[in-house]
Structure 1
Amino acid sequence: MLGLRGRVWQRRTPLVVLMAVVGIAGAVLVARDSGGGHLAANRTQLRKACDGTLPYRDLERLVGDERPGELSEHGTVLTPGQESRSLLDCSLSWGDGHGVTVHAEALVSDVPEAVKSRDLLEPAGGRGTFVAPGTTGQYGKRGAWLVADCRGGLDGRVRPTTDLYVTARVTDGTGKAGKADAAGSGKPGRATALLGFRTAVHVANALTKAQHCGSGPLMTPTAVVDTDETHGAPGRGLRKCGWIEGSSLPGAAPGPWTTLGDHQESTGLSACAGRRGAAKDAGERPRPKRWQVTEVEAASWSGILGRSAYDSYEREGHVPGWGAEDDKRSSEADGSAGTRREARVSSYSGRPQLALWARSVCDGSATYHRVAVYPEIRLQDGETAVIGGTDRARLSTAARTVLDRYLDADDGWPASAKCRDTKVLGEVEQWH
């Protein structure tokens, strides 16, 4: 009887195993229907999404298991011949605030970011942001953005171009990828900013390699710098800005000066500023006299960055030659042609400054330089001050001295970029 029961059990064993397998499969299907079980598929999707340009190791931890990833992508990289401004537009989301969005385009016009001197020295209107040393860009409204060169030329646009613009925004569920952080400053967390830059660099390197740009890859950043922490902080001046010695400038206010730089360590742009700082005995020193220089700045932009910066100033009428015909007619009318005339400075003209522009060839690219000197002046609303010819001439001398020191400094950006063939373009009175 035992042998018979054993043979019966052996005949039933396949049926039992089959029922167990069906039960397990059913449980898996139920689990999928109720959420979960998507991790492997989502990871595979991450590897292939955005034409395989995303940094898998950096983004893997964001991949969710509860729901399938949602992917939206288009661009000429994915569909050659497609009529699109974008080389790549790609968004991948796993729900609960976890996702990544990247954009890349070959620029045929200005960089779609603010790159004037103050935008480099006081980003986000002075509220601060993050930069990644070695990367030309900042963390902005679209996430981390950067500009890269493609000397071999980029495909995908009707007009040829050698400039690549990339943005990357990573969200990790904390709500700090461009929205207000816990302090309400509008800045992301440091880790989120770094992840955005690393993603943007990875995408840029993948595209320039695929496009045979002929230049080496961008360095993947390992840290970011908070511009709030470096703004005006003693001892945080950069070596490239060490040429600023305000107290020795002609017409400068005496006293200690502090320096400030952009911290991008970029080959495409640079900015430095020097300011007469406060000291412990500031109350014992006389205040600067009117029209004495209390601040200077110097900036350079190469290639498309130079064109973008110049266009930004030109739209405001702050480039050499703008309004020159009106000035000429005014000088001829009052007989002051060839001499320094008195000028009126209104309280509504913003912060008065005298700028001096020059142009060079730096690392083989057309480059604009702009320096500015800021005189001491305090006006109440509606007041107007008059700057005489002598004080105006002192400002010109100070501006030219700043330009010469900036271009000649051994540790300065122009020297590192091997700038040559410099031509001074002219002054701009930014107080009209």
Structure 2
Amino acid sequence: MRGADGGPLAERRQWRPRTWGALALAALVLVGAGTYAVRAHTARQQLADNRTQLADACLGLLPAEHLRPHLPNDSAGRLVEYGTLLHPAQESGALLDCRLSWGGVTAQVRATAPLRPGSDAPDSAQPPDAAFPLALPANALGSADGDDDTAAAVLVVTCPNGLARRTGRSTDLQVRVSLPLARPGEPEAADGPTRTQAARTAAAVADRIAAREDCGGTPLGELRTAPARADASLCGWLDSDALGLAGTWTPRPTGPYATRTGRCALRAEPAPQRAGDLVAVEATSASGTWSRDLAEHRQGAAELQLGKDGSLLWRGGDAPPRFVAWATARCGGAPTFHRVVLRPHLPRSEGAVDVRLPRERVAEHRRLARAVLDRYLTAEGAWPDRAGCRDTQVLGETR
């Protein structure tokens, strides 16, 4: 045994600090690994919880396979659901409003029983970039929209048995679905939802709610992917030559036949510059819930104010006059309004200006409005014919 002369004992004392350093480093490594393991486990558990929440939310009908890649693993999703479908005694304007939010984005499903078409209601004549991407039956209407952050679709289906609301009963079920797209910085392989997925989700939600509420309509089922195509035959009757319209007229595209509403239009190309020459000829039909706006438009419209000689004076500050002919009917068992509108060109001015249409021009437009209406109501293949309209009654003119 050696002592202070540098024997083995001294060597052990020299190595002891190094030994403790190694042990401390090993401990740090173990702590770090443990912390990482805990965080990884927490992240996995959070992601699993978010996936379960996604699978259960909104009647379990959200397109989980497309949304799952975008779920966060570091924060919980926030689910808000309400509506009379979930809570029958609840005072709510929605059958269902479900919002699942995470990472600053939201997936939403909203179902309502509208008493009139709202601002986001689909139309029978959608522009190509808003067409519903799935083939719909005639008793359904749809549209698709969205922006850089969302893919959305709106769908309306018929509920013959009716859906109760606080203020009345609706025979329509409207569903809107909005899905978040992939966020910046996410993997390129993680494709976000598309308008087609939003449309399929809307159809699935409509079928589920219709079944639960005993709507009595025909289920949509699995719809094939086919964008709505314009049906030119619906407006073949609106022929400029047959109506004696001078100049070049361009038909406005229309969507496929739908039981709720139909629309056809011709526009003069180029637009005329002479006061009183026609700019557009339009025909519109709307039945059931969709007819209420037309009914109110007619109630609020003024009669044509003609002079004693039959001429029409327009003062520039007033709403420009239109020549409108109306009819009512029952189409597909629902009350329906038909409307034909002739829009004349009237010059606008920043100052006061009076434009007088002579008696002959006024009489010509009034006769044409009635002729277009008569042709529309009796044309084979036009909306009134396809809708099986009966009990048709022609009403008076308005401006």
Which band: TM-score by shorter chain? 0.7 to 0.9
- 1:25 CA drift (Å): 9.3
- Aligned residue number for residue 211 of structure 2: 209
Deviation at 1:412, TM superposition (A): 1.7
Q: 1:356 aligns with which of 320, 325, 337?
A: 325
Question: Is the partner of 2:241 in helix, strand or coil?
Answer: helix
Cα distance in 2, alignment partners of residues 149 and 373 from structure 1: 32
In the other structure, the counterpart of 2:344 is: 375
Q: CA deviation at 1:102?
A: 1.6
**Is the contact made by 1:55 and 1:202 (CA closer than 8 Å) also made in structure 2?**
no
Please say if 1:136 is aligned against 2:130: no
Aligned: 1:302 with 2:256: no
Give the CA RMSD over aligned residues. Answer: 3.6
- After the TM superposition, which residues 325-336 of structure 1 pair with which residues of structure 2 at under 5 Å, given as runs? 336=308
Q: Which runs of 5+ in 2 are unaligned?
A: 1-31, 185-191
Question: 1:382-406: CA deviations, max 9, x gaps?
Answer: 3221122221111111111211222
Structure 1 pair 166/223, CA: closer, same or farther in 2 (3 Å)? Answer: same
Which of the residues 31, 43, 51 maps onto 2:40? Answer: 31
Paired with 1:25 and 1:151, the residues of 2 have a C-alpha distance of 62
Q: Pick closer, same or farther for the CA change 1:25–1:45 going to 2, 3 Å.
A: farther
Give the total of aligned pairs.
350
Equivalent residue letter for 2:116? D
Go from structure 1 to structure 2 and tell me whether the alpha carbon gap of 1:379 and 1:348 turns closer, same or farther (over 3 Å shift): same
Q: 1:173 and 1:96, CA in 2 relative to 1: closer, same or farther beyond 3 A? A: farther
Please give the per-residue CA displacement for 1:314-351, whole angstroms capped at 9, x wherever unaligned: 58x32xxx469xx6xxx8xx8x4xxx622212333455
Partners in 2 of 1:42 and 1:265 — Cα distance?
42
Residue 7 (structure 1) aligns with: none
TM-score by length of structure 1 reads: 0.69
Q: Residue 40 of structure 2 aligns to which amino acid in structure 1?
A: A
Higher mean C-alpha deviation, range 417-426 or range 198-207: 198-207
2:266 to 271, 274, 292: 274
Find out whether 1:87 has 2:95 as its counterpart. yes
Relative distance call for 1:63 and 1:78 in structure 2 (3 A) is same
Task: Find the residue that maps to 2:180 and give its secondary structure.
Answer: strand
Between the aligned partners of 2:93 and 2:251, the Cα distance in structure 1 is 40
Q: Distance in 1 between matches of 2:130 and 2:81?
A: 27
- 1:86 aligned partner, one-letter code: A
Residue 55 of structure 2 corresponds to 47
Q: 1:59 to 1:31 in 2, by over 3 A?
A: closer
**Residue type at the aligned position of 2:280:** E
Q: Secondary structure at the match of 2:366?
A: helix
Any residues of structure 2 matched to 1:8-407 within 5 Å, and which? 29-33=38-42, 35-56=43-64, 59-60=67-68, 62-97=70-105, 99-107=106-114, 109-113=115-119, 130-132=130-132, 134=136, 135-139=140-144, 143-155=152-164, 157=166, 159-173=168-182, 192-218=194-220, 220=223, 222=225, 224=227, 238-250=232-244, 252=245, 254-263=246-255, 265-278=257-270, 290-311=275-296, 313=297, 317-318=300-301, 322=302, 336=308, 341-381=310-350, 382-407=352-377
Q: In structure 1, what is the Cα distance between the partners aligned to 2:395 and 2:41?
A: 68
Contact 2:310 2:359 in 1 (8 A): yes
CA contact (8 A) 2:303 2:397 kept: no
Task: Kindly provide the amino acid, as one letter, of the partner of residue 277 in structure 1.
Answer: E
1:418 equivalent in alignment to 2:384: no
Q: 1:60 to 1:417 in 2, by over 3 A?
A: farther
Cα shift at 1:260: 1.2
Secondary structure at 2:175's aligned position in 1?
A: strand
Partner SS state of residue 93, structure 2: coil
User: How many Å apart are 1:170 and its aligned residue?
Assistant: 1.6
Change beyond 3 A, Cα 1:214–1:37 = same
2-structure distance, mates of 1:298, 1:408: 13
Following TM superposition, by how much is the alpha carbon of 1:237 offset from its aligned partner in structure 2, in angstroms?
Answer: 7.3
Q: Distance in 2 between matches of 1:95 and 1:414?
A: 50
* Residue identity matched to 2:131: V
How far does residue 93 in structure 1 lie from its aligned partner after superposition?
2.0
Contact 2:332 2:388 survives alignment (8 Å): yes
Whether the aligned pair in 2 keeps the contact of 1:292 and 1:376 (CA below 8 Å) is yes
**What per-residue deviation string (whole Å, max 9, x for no partner) do you get for residues 103-130 of structure 1?**
11223x32222779xx87688xxxx961
CA distance in 1, matches of 2:143, 2:320: 25
Change (3 A) 1:398 1:62: farther
User: 1:170 aligns to what SS in structure 2?
Assistant: strand
Instruction: Give the Cα separation in 1 of the matches to 2:328 and 2:126.
Output: 24
Q: Percent identity?
A: 32
How far did residue 151 of structure 1 move? 0.9
- Once residues 115 and 353 of structure 1 are traced to their aligned partners in structure 2, the CA distance between those partners, rounded to angstroms, is 26
TM-score, scaled relative to structure 2: 0.74
Distance (whole Å) between structure 1 residues aligned to residue 99 and residue 198 of structure 2: 13
In 2, the alpha carbon distance for the partners of 1:275 and 1:383 equals: 25
CA contact (8 A) 1:91 1:100 kept: yes
C-alpha contact (below 8 Å) 2:77/2:101 kept by paired residues:
yes
- Within 1, Cα distance between the matches of 2:224 and 2:292? 27
Amino acid of the residue matched to residue 113 of structure 1?
S
The structure with more radius of gyration: 2
CA contact (8 A) 2:286 2:337 kept: yes
